[in-house]
Chain A
Amino acid sequence: MTALLEVHDLHKHFGGVQAVTACSFTAAEGQITGLIGPNGAGKSTAIDLISGFKLPDSGTVVFEGDQVQGKAPHRISRMGLIRTFQTPREWPSLTVLENLILACFNARREGFWRSLRGPTRAEKKRAQEELNRARAVLEEFGLLELRNERAGNLSGGQKRLLEFARIRMAEPRLVILDEPMGGVNPVLGERMATAVLAFITAGTSVIIVEHNLPFIERVTDQVVVMAEGTVIAEGPFDQLRNNQAVVDAYLGEMPSYDDADA
């Protein structure tokens, strides 16, 4: 398994608080890697550091062989790393379909002069293909009837699905999902698990930050555990259940997928 993302010795402090200390882990290509830990473990900060939304004090982040720490978020995105946020971040006044179309970034197509002179026939054809693909992706996620709706009018669960649809559309090399199950109806959870697994099939590797441990157990191949700003364990979920440090961090037992309802 080649390492898609390698995080080495990340450090970040805010004022007097050391949010992330000596954080190191790897995420392999073609796998779903979980990132778990109790509240305040530094998971979100780590994600911000990796995706360019915060600057690390020290340490490196290597994505597909290139160093990305300190780069601006849009540069990292263009290299193929997309992340979500703890609350869904759709573009509310735009339609669902427009949200999807915007997921594909193309510097040339969005250029000022190119936009002013209008598309050539070849470009129109490509735009049509993209539109068809967007419709197909929407259908896959059950959002096709909503394609002309204002994205802001969608329910919370629908917005999460929209985010997934956008990622499917963008086809990044790696997607980092920041607590995708947050505030989501458990029924939707199965749909999400399917969607996450579908990412892998489509060539997108996944890192999931989650508190919902049954979900993590269900979908991940590898799990990274953080506590108090640093990584305390890495390995498949089953192994971690027996890891004393992990158990201590969670103050007791880790719930199992088999025990959970629905």
Chain B
Amino acid sequence: MIDYLVSILTEGAIFAILALGLNIVWGWSGDFDLAYYGYVALGAYMTMVLTIGKATAPTEYILGLTLPFPVAVILATISAMLLALIVGAIALRHLRGIYFSIVTLGAVYVLYIFASQFVPLFNGYNGLSGLFDPMGDFFGLDFTTYPYFYLGVCVLVLVIVVVGVTRLNGSRFGLALRSLREDERAAAVFGRDIYLMKLKAYVLGAGIGGLGGGLFAGYLSAFNPSAWSPVETIILYAAILVGGRGSTRGVVLGVAVMVLGLQEATRYLPEFAGHPTFAPALRLILTGIVLVLFIRFRPQGLLPERRMRDKDPTGKGGVAVAVEQPIVGPALDTGVA
């Protein structure tokens, strides 16, 4: 029971990291990027080929080093960012809206196909395995205590990401990025280099995704095309949408509800013989339904993005900018003409 709890919390922490990265691209910058899971996957793959050592026939893959896990994850993150730089540089130059989304969908499918078909890359459909208990030996842990350790690692990384993201969110960078989301022309008129800023956000988000991917590989000990598909991105989007697009707390809540909560809610469903895919399929159906409902009726999510609120009563200054409060929903009736 405890094992299960540890396992699910670890997964939750990793998905929260992934969602926070995607939130930067979609929530802050406003780009519906369908290639995101590709960066996550690349982070996972690269972490593996940098830690599991040389390939032994019939397995084939590139590199094959035995670097320490933290180093591998960092390098994997960088590689995800490089891929994002290439895709983003092309896609963000002129495209917006559905055209941007379609091109990114294409990019991730190309990656998926190459990862599945081109065996010398990441061993095709069979994928990679053998990343057992990273850093376990270093800390002298056995297999019973290791899961707690890894949970701690993931939560630590999550906390670091949350701190960094929150800081960026409240900064000028975060605010300026929002202006791109709201109205690009106006943002350009006030001096913002739209292409550059969006590209920065895109690469940053992908980096966080790659980081999460690396942790994901450590959690699964293995990684292959069945562990990811381009459709997984939609689960992250559902989580962000439900929790609160653009809001850090919202995104974490969204992951708790849509990933953990949904998993728990469907765990006790009977498994029909011959239908092992029932529960996962049901989860995806619920995800899809929730997605449509929220987009229609509550697009700002359960915990909407908080905007700066100036509480100085005199409005004459002299006091530092005060506490943030949520500004929720439709038109506020202030009686001002």
Which A residues lie at the B interface, using CB under 8 A?
Answer: 51, 53, 72-74, 77-78, 82-85, 89-95, 97-98, 101-103, 105-106, 109-112, 114-116, 118, 124, 127-128, 131-132, 135-136, 139, 144-150, 153, 155, 158, 166, 170
Q: How far, in angstroms, from A223 to B200 measured CA to CA in the complex?
A: 43
What 6 additional pairs, Cβ within 8 angstroms, besides A74-B191, A128-B321?
Answer: A74-B188, A83-B189, A94-B175, A135-B317, A144-B315, A146-B334
Q: How far, in angstroms, from A90 to B305 measured CA to CA in the complex?
A: 18
Would you call B182 and A85 a contact (CB within 8 A)? no
Residues of A within 8 A of B194 (CB): 74
Residues of B within 8 A of A98 (CB): 175, 307-308
Would you call A115 and B190 a contact (CB within 8 A)? no
Residues of A within 8 A of B331 (CB): 153
Q: Is B320 in the interface zone, CB < 8 Å from A?
A: yes
Which of B31-39, B88-96, B165-173, B287-295 sits within the interface? B165-173
Q: How far, in angstroms, from A149 to B309 measured CA to CA in the complex?
A: 9
Q: Which residue of B lies closest to A118 (CB)?
A: B167
Q: Is B193 in the interface zone, CB < 8 Å from A?
A: yes
Would you call A155 and B193 a contact (CB within 8 A)? no
Some 26 contacts from A to B, beta carbons below 8 A apart, are A51-B189, A78-B191, A84-B189, A89-B183, A89-B186, A89-B189, A90-B183, A91-B182, A94-B182, A95-B327, A105-B190, A106-B172, A110-B173, A112-B168, A112-B173, A114-B173, A115-B167, A115-B174, A116-B171, A116-B173, A131-B321, A146-B334, A149-B332, A149-B334, A155-B337, A170-B190
Tell me how many residues of B have a C-beta within 8 Å of chain A: 44
Residues of A within 8 A of B307 (CB): 93-95, 98, 150
Which B residues lie at the A interface, using CB under 8 A?
Answer: 164, 167-168, 171-176, 178-179, 181-183, 185-194, 200, 204, 305, 307-310, 312, 315-318, 320-321, 327, 331-332, 334, 336-337
Q: Which residue of B lies closest to A73 (CB)?
A: B188
